[in-house]
Amino acid sequence: MKKKQVEKEQNNEKQLPRQETTLGEDIFQLLLKIVLIILAVILVFTFMYGMARINDVSMKPAIKDGDLVMYYRLDKRFVSGDIAVFKKDGRTTTGRAVAVAGDTVDITKDGLMINGATQISQDIYFDTTQFQNGVDFPITVGEGQIFVLGDNRPEASDSRIYGCINIKDVKGDCGYSDQRTLIPSSVNQIKTNNILSTREESL
């Protein structure tokens, strides 16, 4: 009796119609997935990331004229060395943050000074000088502002011309930060003295 019942259930399972998707349904599901992926990309590049074409030489050689840069919108807590993407005078440009809120910036015959300490830029190959028609120094960075300089010091359009920039005008951070970019000369002098002392001891 049990054997007949099992055979009957197996026969019923075999008789159940298989649910097969049609070609039209497959195409619809594929298109739906593509639309969802496109929407996800749009959301990411609308609220999290952005892209901008840079048409100047302020940050050369790090960013060349015509380069396309991607920046992060959600984090605008800048530290020295970060590259900011911002809008100034109707165009999008870039600059490296060298001072943040509370810092005092000065440019003297000795070069760039932050809070009274002369800065040595390891990756900058030009002297930092004032522009004749630029802002007056020293200048203190206000709350919600940053002071930016272009790596291409002689040709850069940066805070030496238009002063500190407001964080609200910054589109985002390129994500590059090198804490070694600016080193107080006093620290550099200590390192040099240590090297000289070591050499003298070895002699």
Domain assignment of residue 135, given as a range = 49-188
Asked whether residue 44 is assigned to any structural domain, the reply reads no
pLDDT in tens, 19-65: 566 888 888 888 989 988 988 888 777 778 999 999 999 999 999 99
Residues 6+ apart with CB under 8 A from 94: 54, 58, 59, 63, 69, 83, 84, 85, 86, 150, 174
Asked whether residue 2 is assigned to any structural domain, the reply reads no
Asked whether residue 30 is assigned to any structural domain, the reply reads no
Q: What is the pLDDT confidence band of residue 12, given thresholds at 50, 70 and 90?
A: low
Question: What is the rounded distance in angstroms from the CA atom of residue 115 to the CA atom of residue 31?
Answer: 58
Q: How many domains does the chain have?
A: 1
In CATH, what number is assigned to the domain containing residue 157?
2.10.109.10
pLDDT in tens, 80-96: 899 999 999 889 999 99
What is the pTM for the complete model shown? 0.70
- Residue 190 vs residue 166, higher pLDDT: 166
Asked whether residue 137 is assigned to any structural domain, the reply reads yes
Asked whether residue 12 is assigned to any structural domain, the reply reads no
Asked whether residue 124 is assigned to any structural domain, the reply reads yes
Question: What is the rounded distance in angstroms from the CA atom of residue 71 to the CA atom of residue 78?
Answer: 13
Asked whether residue 134 is assigned to any structural domain, the reply reads yes
Asked whether residue 83 is assigned to any structural domain, the reply reads yes
Question: What is the rounded distance in angstroms from the CA atom of residue 154 to the CA atom of residue 24?
Answer: 63
Residues 153-160, mean pLDDT to the nearest whole number: 95
Compute CA 90 distance to the chain's CA centroid, rounded to the nearest angstrom. 20
